[in-house]
Chain A
Amino acid sequence: MTEKALKIALIACIIIIVILGGALGWALMQAAAPPAMVEYPIGLAIAVSGPYAVEGPYRRDAALMAIEEVNAMLERAGSPIRFKPIHEDSKGTAEGAKAALEALAAAGVEVVVGPLSSKEVAAIKSYVDEHHIVAISPSSTAISLAVPDDFIFRMVPTDAAQGRGIADLIWYFGHEHVAVIARDDDYGRGVAGVFESEFTAKGGEVYKIMYDPTAGAYPTEVSDLASKVSEWIGTYGTDKVAVLIVAFDDDGRDIISRALTYTELRQVHWFGSESTRRPTFLPPEAPEEIAQFLMDTNFMNLFPTVGMNPVREKFYENYVTKYGKEPTPYSYFSYDAAWVACLAVLAAGKYDGDAIKAVLPDVCERYIGASGYKKLDENGDVMATDYGIATVALEEGEYIWKEVGIWHFTTREITFYD
């Protein structure tokens, strides 16, 4: 071999060694370097205007807090995955919900927390089904939306359970004539409708007053309510008569503040839908007279519950610390919906609507959150659970919602703690 050939071979060897060394070094660096961050968007189609101007921000904040917690957990684990919330105001209307979903779809969202109301869910159903976007509603309760194998999942039992529970509770107290004053929307009609059929099946009598929730003031409806109650008291006595109110914040407070002025309405037992168990009905967010009226009339309402659990307590504490206000009951469901959404993405192992839909029931079956056990039925709705019975109590100078009993969904029995 000539000297020249040796030089060439040497140079070739050096080049090969350099290339191999470089490749090995690069591979080692890749292995040692932290993996690239991956950010998955979580859509929040939560109305914060219109009918949800008061309640919506509470639920949005709860969902945001859940996503923050998931991200903190992932950071602790050294995971490269993070979730990014994108909030769109769905305005509480079909048009607003559709526009919100379109905007979120354009942003590449495959899983959405929301919308809140059943009519919004109905409006986006065909859109999410076709685009394979998973929508997890924290508060839609319409029975008509219970359809198997779609992309809609709901974190709260349907109206059927609540309506049945209220009917059992009122019947338990021996009231046979109930005047119902309810929102004339999907929620009010749903609850009032189920209640009416359940209560009349027991032999009770129901008088319904449906009001337009956008009206703002309800003097005529309350006057009508007082007339009916007065008539029934005259015929059957106060023990046989009750009032059921199915209302949200502003409308509910207006009705109760007007009811204060009617003696006959103060004489009978009042009940409320789950939507009345909100801090907005108690001081400092409501006048003391309203809270006192609720106490005077032994006001009771039902809310899906599993009693206090560590997750619920932690959520409550964190929420109050972070936002300086108490969470509303539906905030718990919103919080769980966001947690479930993130866990489903992690369980799926990829950001894909079909994969998320496939694993969501399994994730829910193994998830106990702030609002309880989230096992889903064949329609993708949370299976009905027991309902806690609450009333207003004055403890240490502060009005609070206090759970005093429970309605068992399976046996339809009522148990009071005292």
Chain B
Amino acid sequence: MTILPLIISIFTFFGLYLILSISFNLEFGYAGQPNFGKVLLYAIGATCAGRLVATIIMLYLGADVPFFSALAADMRLRWGAENPLATVGLFVLALVLAMVVGGLVGYVLSYPTLRLKGDFLAIVMICAGEVFRIFLKTYEPLVGGPFGLSGVPGPFSFVGDPNLKEALYMSLVLLIAFGCYLFAQKLVNSPYGRLLKSVRDDELAANVLGKKVVRVKAEILVIGSAMAALAGALYAFYVRGVFAEDFVPMVTFTAVTMTMLGGLANNRGVLVGCLLLTLFDRFTRASFFNMLGITVAFDISYIRYAVMGLLIILIVMFKPKGLMPEEPVRTPAIEIAKEELSK
């Protein structure tokens, strides 16, 4: 028995969902745009990354085997292990491509936000995610349709020890997630953060004050979407493939729940929410109880889902602002104002 696979599982999942939740928090928590199509961007990121890497490797190999077969997947993984520099290069290229495409799609998504608000916008975004999932599943040439595309080598494919390989990848995901967190903190604790909040709280007032509301909405959706696509690309390298059925609305709702639990418009809260829900998911598994020497007499899977649902209800009822409610924007101006007030 080793605890390492569990730690890797927890923190990789945490890192991926932290990026996704922060992107949602930027869009909804700070700018008031309910982008419930998070999974759409997540799927786009994964598709771009997975397909790009798999295609380049197969073109290089020139092998005459079905692209989506397990045999081809094995060949790609072997190639990845034998060509570390090229694999790292492909990884970086894939992340960049995913973010660019994600950002462009985010810009396109900003158009519905001009005409739709609140629930209607959220529904349109959920539908957009579902449309893309169904497209991925039905259009086989892209990622193998319902069979999926496997054999996408990660940047540490050359590392022989599988646990070390996955631990390194987990560290990289955490590093990128932390970078996203710092970026988001910097962004919202700046005059731009105040601008986002003004658009969220009163669009008309922001307009009257000469702020370009439409442009701000587009910008934040581009940023949030690029981040979500980045999470999707990292996910593709984590599972070493792209599977259409993974991109269900539940992905969005998980990120939303994490954000709600932590606290809307509070990135530190989102961090806490992500960590708590990830730990809850992983520590309420039969395997974990077995590690502790506890035998659960019933199938704990169902209890876990029920408790998760109950948790969401309890948050909405008793902690609608989350565990860490919204804080004022921490710009130099507010610090000066605080000093002045304290005099």
Residues of A within 8 A of B (CB): 41, 43, 48-49, 57, 60, 84, 86-89, 92-95, 98-99, 102-109, 118-119, 122-123, 125-127, 130-131, 142, 144-147, 150, 184-186, 188-190, 210, 212, 214
Contacts and interface: CB of A to CB of B under 8 A. Distances in A.
Nearest to B301: A89
Contacts of A184: 137-138, 145-146
19 contacts: A43-B287, A57-B299, A86-B287, A86-B290, A87-B286, A93-B246, A94-B148, A95-B239, A98-B239, A107-B287, A107-B288, A119-B243, A119-B245, A123-B243, A125-B150, A126-B73, A144-B147, A147-B74, A214-B248
A107 B246 contact: no
B151 interface: yes
A119 B151 contact: no
Size band of the B side of the interface?
35 or more
A95 B287 CA distance: 17
For B8, B134, B239, B245, the residue with the greatest tally of chain A CB atoms inside 10 Å of its CB is B245
A409 B74 CA distance: 30
Nearest to A189: B146
B93 interface: no
Given A41-B290, A103-B282, A186 B1 contact: no
B291 A106 contact: yes
Contacts of A103: 5-6, 9, 282, 285-288
B333 interface: no
Contacts of B151: 126
A321 to B, nearest CB: 20
B77 interface: yes
Contacts of B288: 103, 106-107
Contacts of A48: 299, 301-302
A23 to B, nearest CB: 33
B185 interface: no
A131 B73 CA distance: 17
B245 A106 contact: no
A123 B148 contact: yes
Contacts, number: 142
B150 A99 contact: no
For A186, A188, A210, A214, the residue with the greatest tally of chain B CB atoms inside 10 Å of its CB is A186
B2 A49 contact: no
A123 B239 contact: yes
Given A98-B239, A119-B245, A106 B2 contact: yes
Contact of B146 (A84, A99, A188): A188
Interface in B142-160: 145-148, 150-151
A125 to B, nearest CB: 6
B286 to A, nearest CB: 5
Interface string B282-304: 10011110110001000101100
Given A87-B286, A103-B6, A186-B147, A108 B70 contact: no
Contacts of A130: 162, 165
B8 A102 contact: yes
Interface string B1-30: 111111011000100000000000000000
B150 A106 contact: no
Contact of A185 (B137, B241, B290): B137
Nearest to A379: B70
B9 A102 contact: yes
Contacts of B243: 93-95, 119, 122-123
Contacts of B235: 95
B69 interface: yes
B240 interface: yes
Interface string B60-78: 0000001011110110010
